[in-house]
Structure 1
Amino acid sequence: MTTQSNSPPPPPPSTGVTSHSSSPPLKRTRKASRLRLLATRPVGAERPLVHVDPVTGKADGPHSKKFRTYLGIVARDKVDVTYENWKHVPITQKDLIWEDIQAEFDIPEASDLRTKKKILQTVGERWRQFKSDLTSKWALAADKDSVDDTVCKMYGISKEKWTQFCQSRRDPSWENVRKKAQAVQKQNTAPHVMSRGGYEYLEKKLMDEKRKKKLEEATQSGSTDTVIDPPSPIKRHVKWKLARTKKTGDMTSEAAKEIADKIDALEEQASQGSFVTHGRHDILTAAIGRPEHPGRVRAVGAGITIKQYFGSASRTSSIAPEYLQQLTQQIKDQLEDSITEKVTRRLMLSLSQMQSQGLALPPEPDVGPSAARVSTKESCVDPSGNDLDTGDSYKCGLYIEEYPSRLVALGRVYEGSTTIHNIPLLHDQVKVGVEEIRDVDAPIPVPTKEVKVVGQALNTFLAWPTHLVKRLSEQGAVRPAKPADRPDDEVDDPLYLMTLTIPQLFLKPLQVMWDATLFGLFNENFPLYIKHEDLSEIAHGGQCLSIYVIQLWILHMTETSMRAGNIDVYGFLEPQSIQRSGQSQFESENYIKNWMQNSKRDVYLGAYLNGAHWQMVVILPKENVVIWFCSLHNKPDNYLKGIINSALKGLDDTQQSKSKTPARWIVVKCNRQKGSTECGYYVMHWMSTIILGNFQNNWEMYFTDPRPLEP
């Protein structure tokens, strides 16, 4: 009887291994699996049928267990253990492994490229596990000489390859990697006691027990139904508990017991209606106290993503109101004692410096009710949207875990923040803002879906391990020591003088009275309040500007246009009146139409906040043309485009005979921002360029530079 050439080699002959008289006898262990029945299958015989899910890579059918075992045999026998990692295994060798698997099993889904990818990923996992077993059981054995022959004969590894593998495992660099992996493993305070079948086998076992129980109940009740309704799926918090329950009934650890007790309590509350699951916030998430990790789902098994299990996230927040309230209260409790002391100390220091410099404090303004403030603190700044900044921050160096650790960026630590992107920070993490890049290709220690390497992290907030963050004063030589430059009293430094007023505005905002009729509004004394956070945004330079700052800039541009004698040429749209929030589409359209019809300017400039991103439009009503500026080079927003087109069509025919035809939109090739928060500064720059340059036509000829603005 012949066998196929690509099947795993037969086991080596079992010969006795003579050990030294002084060496202790080797412990009897499980021998290597060979699947001899599969290896001796006659040529041309029908291959075992196995169905593989292309999405998850899970095998199904009566031969699925044999298939999983065979993947481990292929990983052990077909891949050299001296490769550093699975990525270093040649593509040609992986293709041969795939052909070998198809020769032994009939996989109907083999034509799907995803099936090949998932199966080879499983082979890679089995190969890494095999190397790990070789390391812990044999390569690091105390009496290495007594096991060399045994390992080589047991696994068919040549002595040369085995010696090379053992040397790599005794290298100091590998020791560091091993210790780091052991430290990570220690973080798992609730280990499971499942077999290699994992949650998939556990769920199958539980479902079989439920089916058996239903059949027994049907038999005892005397039911004649031949079809029994399938049992309900096993909830993941039930699987999580059973996976950490020993045969004695005890939990594997104290941490696992605490979570199990919380699960029992939440189940009781859910049965009474006092606890209601909400999206991804179910019983297990609430019991553990941490949201799901991106890319996987706890107590479900490998290959299942969050979207596949829970479905697409809703446009609104998926955090339950109770959980959100709990997080908010935790933040308040943590900051209540420290924020007053820290902010007051800094405030008093700044005020004392102002008095010593002879700067008088402004009189206390009469603060009236403020208009509704449009939120500009979404994705352009801290994406978490929940973090409360205590103001306690400092410059720092950001390092990655190497030996020794290596500086990859400079940034700022925000102490007091407890969440980042709506995810609570771990006890060994801090919130940092990346301000300067040192190594664009360095990996992020705590990556996100959008940011994987340091080069993508400029002007963004991230979670960073505490032990990899060092104050600039603590770093040996991050940069040469340089005394802080202080402007001369006789030098007019607006930014420096502005920062000195921030402490004043912390107590009382500055009230600026402006004539809103300059922008087509019917309120001559419209109050504009400048708060300390508005000036902090400008001084920091790394935050999205609020609508108050843009309003103040437009007021300044109006005065600039008056001094230049162009007030009859340029007009400005009031930002609050054209935003999507705060007024209806009809109100915005009516405001634009009435303002252009009454003022009859040649050019109108408007700043538009689109999803926390500032953009700009330039409207030429007499030409029926609209110019679009966006520092991210996005297309015109349909909402704004609709109200402007409708407003232009509604103008009197006496002013513009073409107003009944659709307006022509021109998208200029303007400057493109590098980061994610400087959009407001780009809008301010374009407005200033247009007013000072007296631009009224030839927009596509003047605005042709896509390079980012330089400070």
Structure 2
Amino acid sequence: MEHSKKGRARRKNPSDPNVEGVRRATIMKRVHMARKRGERIPVTFDDKGQPEGKHGDELMSWIGVLAREHVPIWIQDWRSRDLDQVKDIIWKETVTSFTVDGSFRTACIKSCGEAARNFRHDLYKTFVEGFLKEESVWTRPQKVIDNYPNIEEEDWVKFVQYRTSSQFQQLSDRGSEIRTNNEYSSRGGRDGYRKLDQENFKKTGKYVKRDCLWLEQQMGLDGELKDAACQKASELVMEFNTQESQGTFESVGTSDVLSHALSRPEHKGRVRGQSKFVKPSQYFNLNRSSSKDLEVQSMRREIEELKALVRGLCASKDVAPSVDPNNVPTVDQHNSVKASCSAQGKQHGDSDPPTMAVDSQECKLYIIDEVQGGQVHVAFGRAWLESLPTETVHGIPLGEGNVRVSINVPKLKKAPLPIPTYEATTVEDAINGFVAWPKTLVELDTSMNKASRGPSHVADPESGKKNAKESLEKKPSTLGQSSMRQGNQIEVPISYTIMTFEMPVFLSYEDIYEFINLQEISANCILVYMRYLEELCRINGQADKFAFVSPTLISPGPIGLEDYGRRRN
């Protein structure tokens, strides 16, 4: 037996020893014998949830056998609900043969889908691709009949029809293009990250960091990195690891050494540099804290939120807090989106001022509309315009062209952040907290308060406490009445897609009052809310999925359905 570069065990061709043969299909005799005796093979899992040892390897091979025996070769999408019965059979066959619990079902079905896809690919490459011009391609080859008797003639015809269709060709071309643009080529073989990770654990007694595991997976059999992109990534990994050991770089959640070295955000639902069995919540240690640790973390988050609230209130009133929030003991690791920044408290005896920029000003925050172009106003907040590129938010440097902002009043809560973090991806997630924002998307609001000096501004402490208390005690109804007087109106433009013609809607004092006090609202309030929903759908690229129609256009009366049809025409 010899191992190819892909790590597959292949047998020599008996007729020509210099020609490699094809890896034979696994039949799993040991599993079948155990089933006949009414026994199940015990499987153990490591701390990451990966099947381990000899029995773990047998489990993965067994899933491949089930994929060949039960998954039709003509399917187009493994996620289809039409295949739920097939998936149930596969899971039942798995739990009948191995001791696994229900938590493994998702990984089992996913692995089976991958194995079935690879099997269909091998069938096409071996028996179809080189025989497309021959009539015999539509008939099952004898080798398929001998080795895979579960494949019927009808299944084979459907398989060839789909694989030779223009629909599949488009998918294949798109996949080839993606593969061509991939900078990094994995060379670890069919064992993948799971076996590599477990082998390293046996040698060292601990799990290797994912950046080291990722680099090892890119190496050839000689232990060298072949691609220039991989070599550059290796240099960056070493550089960030050095910075981390020196304390100048901090890994927080998915923002760690590997993500910075590759300059790519982490994919949701999976962990780069780890096997498919490892979930983000497992690897990034988000759900392993003891009850005491969770309580301490909760208290620390509350402290940070209170500090952010005090800063925001004092900044909006242009006063300084009576107690400098920065002198409160800081949390060792800023894991919360609330008030997480690089400002360090001033210790007793220190004479140097904080390195964090303290100038801030009221502003409007925008994002780029990737669908229709242009900028969209998503929130009001404060911006620290003198923020340094080395200043950090959630342990990540701001970088060139970005500033630190705090979001006070959201306009579009579900709008995505231009620079998301692991915990905050939308405007709603970052309310009353600090995030990084491109400076070009920050518009200073000169009509609002002047720039404040934050904690370093000297003012009357008692006045600051009084103003903060008054702001906290104000109810929404009081705020609404104080910001709008009777007789005043707010003009809100309504788009063509709702009214079939451009027109403004005017919200009166009474409209605002009824809305704030949870009374029956007017049609104008409904129109404004529909305008908000329409804009939200447009920002999220869902404008073609939803339609909004004014209630006045479909209500009985002179402006009803008939008139609506005339206007549309």
TM range (shorter): 0.5 to 0.7
Q: CA deviation at 1:80?
A: 1.1
Q: Which residue of 1 aligns with 2:321?
A: none
| 1:86 aligned residue (78, 81, 85) | 78
**1:154 corresponds to which letter in structure 2?**
N
**Separation in structure 1 between the aligned mates of residue 57 and residue 342 of structure 2, nearest angstrom:** 40
Q: CA deviation at 1:255?
A: 0.7
**Separation in structure 1 between the aligned mates of residue 61 and residue 95 of structure 2, nearest angstrom:** 15
Q: Which residue of 1 aligns with 2:148?
A: 155
Q: CA deviation at 1:297?
A: 2.0
Q: Which residue of 1 aligns with 2:193?
A: 199
Q: Which residue of 2 aligns with 1:708?
A: 527
Kindly name which structure, 1 or 2, has the bigger radius of gyration based on alpha carbons. 1
| 1:96 aligned residue (47, 69, 89) | 89
Q: CA deviation at 1:317?
A: 8.3
Residues 1:604 and 1:37: Cα distance change in structure 2 (over 3 Å): closer
Q: Which residue of 2 aligns with 1:124?
A: 113
5+ residue gaps in structure 2? 1-17, 287-334, 344-358, 377-392, 398-411, 420-440, 450-462, 487-491, 496-504, 532-569
Q: Cα deviation per residue 1:577-630 (whole Å; 9 max; x = unaligned)?
A: xxxxxx956314447999xxxxxxxx955389xxxxxxx8999xxxxxxxxxxx
Residues 1:592 and 1:46: Cα distance change in structure 2 (over 3 Å): closer
Asked if the contact 1:259/1:287 (under 8 Å) is kept, the reply is yes
Asked if the contact 1:78/1:97 (under 8 Å) is kept, the reply is yes
Q: Cα deviation per residue 1:235-279 (whole Å; 9 max; x = unaligned)?
A: 122111211111223213111111112223344444555555455
**Separation in structure 1 between the aligned mates of residue 473 and residue 22 of structure 2, nearest angstrom:** 85
1:586 equivalenced with 2:466 (yes/no): yes
Asked if the contact 1:266/1:283 (under 8 Å) is kept, the reply is yes
Residues 1:592 and 1:247: Cα distance change in structure 2 (over 3 Å): closer
Residues 1:290 and 1:85: Cα distance change in structure 2 (over 3 Å): closer
1:23-34 matches, within 5 Å, as: 28-34=21-27
SS in 2 for 1:412: coil
Q: Which residue of 2 aligns with 1:235?
A: 209
Q: Cα deviation per residue 1:484-539 (whole Å; 9 max; x = unaligned)?
A: xxxxxxxxxxxxxxxxxxxxxxxxxxxxxxxxxxxxxxxxxxxxxxxxxxxxxxxx
1:76 equivalenced with 2:50 (yes/no): no
SS in 2 for 1:251: coil
Asked if the contact 2:514/2:520 (under 8 Å) is kept, the reply is no
Residues 1:175 and 1:592: Cα distance change in structure 2 (over 3 Å): closer
Residues 1:248 and 1:687: Cα distance change in structure 2 (over 3 Å): same
Q: Which residue of 1 aligns with 2:257?
A: 283
Q: CA deviation at 1:183?
A: 0.9
**2:88 corresponds to which letter in structure 1?**
D
**Separation in structure 1 between the aligned mates of residue 189 and residue 415 of structure 2, nearest angstrom:** 45
Q: Cα deviation per residue 1:412-469 (whole Å; 9 max; x = unaligned)?
A: 1569xxxxx9999xxxxxxxxxxxxxxxxxxxxxxxxxxxxxxx99977889xxxxxx
| 2:235 aligned residue (235, 258, 261) | 261
**Separation in structure 1 between the aligned mates of residue 111 and residue 526 of structure 2, nearest angstrom:** 45
SS in 2 for 1:374: strand
Residues 1:584 and 1:39: Cα distance change in structure 2 (over 3 Å): farther
**1:134 corresponds to which letter in structure 2?**
L
1:606 equivalenced with 2:486 (yes/no): no
Asked if the contact 1:50/1:59 (under 8 Å) is kept, the reply is yes
1:13-52 matches, within 5 Å, as: 28-41=21-34, 43-51=36-44
1:314 equivalenced with 2:302 (yes/no): no
Q: TM-score, normalised by structure 2?
A: 0.53
Residues 1:66 and 1:320: Cα distance change in structure 2 (over 3 Å): farther
| 1:182 aligned residue (160, 164, 176) | 176
Asked if the contact 2:48/2:282 (under 8 Å) is kept, the reply is no
1:493-642 matches, within 5 Å, as: 586-590=466-470, 605-606=479-480
SS in 2 for 1:86: coil
Q: CA deviation at 1:185?
A: 1.3
1:166 equivalenced with 2:171 (yes/no): no
**1:162 corresponds to which letter in structure 2?**
W
Q: CA deviation at 1:133?
A: 2.2
1:428-467 matches, within 5 Å, as: none
1:217-228 matches, within 5 Å, as: none
**1:82 corresponds to which letter in structure 2?**
W
Q: Cα deviation per residue 1:555-587 (whole Å; 9 max; x = unaligned)?
A: xxxxxxxxxxxxxxxxxxxxxxxxxxxx95631
Q: CA deviation at 1:43?
A: 3.1
Q: TM-score, normalised by structure 1?
A: 0.43
SS in 1 for 2:361: coil
Which is bigger in relative contact order (C-alpha 8 A, separation at least 6)?
2
Query: Percent of counterpart pairs with the same letter?
Result: 20
Residues 1:192 and 1:549: Cα distance change in structure 2 (over 3 Å): same
Q: CA deviation at 1:303?
A: 3.5
**Separation in structure 2 between the aligned mates of residue 592 and residue 47 of structure 1, nearest angstrom:** 63
Asked if the contact 2:515/2:521 (under 8 Å) is kept, the reply is no
**Separation in structure 1 between the aligned mates of residue 339 and residue 216 of structure 2, nearest angstrom:** 31
Q: Which residue of 1 aligns with 2:386?
A: none
Residues 1:63 and 1:265: Cα distance change in structure 2 (over 3 Å): same
1:332-343 matches, within 5 Å, as: none
Asked if the contact 1:269/1:275 (under 8 Å) is kept, the reply is yes
SS in 1 for 2:42: coil
Q: Which residue of 1 aligns with 2:362?
A: 374
Aligned residues: 363
SS in 2 for 1:315: coil
**Separation in structure 2 between the aligned mates of residue 274 and residue 547 of structure 1, nearest angstrom:** 35
Asked if the contact 1:207/1:233 (under 8 Å) is kept, the reply is yes
Q: CA deviation at 1:172?
A: 1.2
**2:275 corresponds to which letter in structure 1?**
G
SS in 1 for 2:362: coil
Residues 1:62 and 1:284: Cα distance change in structure 2 (over 3 Å): same
SS in 1 for 2:99: coil
Q: Cα deviation per residue 1:143-162 (whole Å; 9 max; x = unaligned)?
A: 76488222332222223321
**Separation in structure 2 between the aligned mates of residue 265 and residue 30 of structure 1, nearest angstrom:** 42
Q: CA RMSD in A?
A: 4.9
**Separation in structure 2 between the aligned mates of residue 706 and residue 550 of structure 1, nearest angstrom:** 26
Q: Cα deviation per residue 1:273-305 (whole Å; 9 max; x = unaligned)?
A: 555545543332232223323332221221434
SS in 2 for 1:252: coil
SS in 2 for 1:123: helix
Residues 1:545 and 1:606: Cα distance change in structure 2 (over 3 Å): farther
Asked if the contact 1:263/1:283 (under 8 Å) is kept, the reply is yes
Asked if the contact 2:41/2:98 (under 8 Å) is kept, the reply is yes
Residues 1:584 and 1:264: Cα distance change in structure 2 (over 3 Å): same
Q: CA deviation at 1:29?
A: 0.6
**1:34 corresponds to which letter in structure 2?**
I
**Separation in structure 2 between the aligned mates of residue 241 and residue 235 of structure 1, nearest angstrom:** 10
Q: CA deviation at 1:82?
A: 1.3
1:130-149 matches, within 5 Å, as: 130-142=119-131, 145=136, 148-149=141-142
Q: Cα deviation per residue 1:107-153 (whole Å; 9 max; x = unaligned)?
A: 2x23xxx4323322222222122222222333212476488222332
Residues 1:372 and 1:315: Cα distance change in structure 2 (over 3 Å): closer
Asked if the contact 2:197/2:208 (under 8 Å) is kept, the reply is yes
Q: CA deviation at 1:690?
A: 5.5
Asked if the contact 1:72/1:126 (under 8 Å) is kept, the reply is yes
Residues 1:133 and 1:696: Cα distance change in structure 2 (over 3 Å): closer
